[in-house]
Amino acid sequence: MTVPRIVLVGAGSVVFTQGLLADLFAFPELRTAHIALHDIDPERLATAEAAARHIAVRRGAAPTITAHADRRAALADADFVVNCVQIGMVEATRTDFEVPARYGVAQTIGDTLGIGGIFRALRTFPFLKALGDDMAEVCPDAWLLNYTNPMAMNVEYLSRATGLRRVVGLCHSVHWTVHDLCELVNAPFEEVTYLAAGVNHQAWVLRFEHDGENLFERLDALIAEDPELRRRVRIDMYRRLGFYPTETSEHSSEYLPWYLHHPGEIERLRLPVGAYLDIVAENMAAYERTRDALAKGAELEVEGSMEYAPQIIHSITTGTPRTVYGNVPNRGLIENLPCRGTVEVPCLVDGSGVRPTRVGALPPQLAALNRAYLGMNELVVRAAVENEPRHIRHAAMVDPATSSALRVEQIWQLCDDMVLAHADRLQPGLRATLGS
């Protein structure tokens, strides 16, 4: 077994980096890996390096740890590249919420679809293109494991705009959805059989069983008994669509026209409009606590996070077979979704790499919603690949939450305002304002 070189791009996301490293060092075979950290923020990079060395000691690991301000130096000869950047950080996220709010557009998380998702993608694409170009030159055989949202758009862009083929998008939503469902219906997670498929943040639990028992029947009974359970978007979706969605109610509400446009539904379903701004503030506070604790030489409590990237790295490095959920191009995996879109399906992982599994057809009502999601994604990706600013507006026009809240001329005006607010982060050809 060779010692892998694992590169964390955006390592200054220190709290997430800590969880990934704790998971990596939990595997004895990875405790001597080369961990190369990259970030453009010197303070965050130094904090990430200090955290990595602290975690290695706590986990009894003896890795080689290097920190790099230069991305190509970090990537040289990499076996695995884990991407967790956030382009624009807090300032850009505030813009994603504050500008649409002036038009009356409500968002909860704003990182996947909607106006927030569109512009998070557009300001991330130039970075992904540069990362892909660098990898093609200095580590063409490396696996790119992407955590950066909007997941499906980013993976589709990578597949169309770069020469990279070893790309998998990773999200913990399927794992934690099933884990939490098991707690709700009082079933042992380790013994449950389940299957999920769809698109990232809008996949569906298609099978959920224990010893031959359909556990959805237990869930149905709980929902019938508890009116508070019915005050959640994902429960409302499950009752009407027949299959349980794999993302939180806060996320799920943004991908549909039924909820955030209606004040009564926001109240009934307890939707926290603007919630992501609080999450961003807590992430900043967590980073500062970690930075200050490391500077004082204090102990850090670091727990594993059960993320998929360390599991994939372990499986490919050692040949250990396992199944994870990955976001990959839909090459016949879900037959009633677009072939160029990015889908989330079970993937088999071992020494030969990551192999997505074919699911077949989704139930038609689920496929219809996923097709709307992927149609918007395609327009955003086309805007960048074809350098066509009109496609930004077309994407917003077909976005369910935006189109249910605004008239078409308002949508174009909002896109102009967002382009102006994010202009320096967009590729030059997309910086035009087009009027209403």
Would you please indicate which residues are annotated as catalytic (active-site) residues? 172
Closest CA relative to residue 143, chosen from 72, 83, 84, 85: 83
Helix (H) or strand (E) holding 64: strand 64-68
Using CA atoms, how far apart are residues 211 and 43, in angstroms rounded to an integer?
51
Classify residue 46 by burial, with Cβ atoms within 10 Å: 0-12, 13-18, 19+.
middle
Using CA atoms, how far apart are residues 269 and 260, in angstroms rounded to an integer?
10
Task: Please answer whether residues 197 and 345 qualify as being in contact, where contact means their C-beta atoms are separated by less than 8 angstroms.
Answer: yes
What contacts 73, CB < 8 A, 6 or more positions away?
A: none
Using CA atoms, how far apart are residues 24 and 18, in angstroms rounded to an integer?
10
Using CA atoms, how far apart are residues 66 and 5, in angstroms rounded to an integer?
11
**Tokens in use for 68?**
């790099």
DSSP 158-199: HHHHSS---EEE--SHHHHHHHHHHHHHT--GGG-EEEEEEE
Using CA atoms, how far apart are residues 402 and 261, in angstroms rounded to an integer?
9
What contacts 353, CB < 8 A, 6 or more positions away?
A: 143, 166, 316
Using CA atoms, how far apart are residues 151 and 183, in angstroms rounded to an integer?
27
DSSP label at residue 263: H
Q: What are phi and psi of 91, to 5 degrees?
A: -60, -45
Using CA atoms, how far apart are residues 306 and 403, in angstroms rounded to an integer?
37
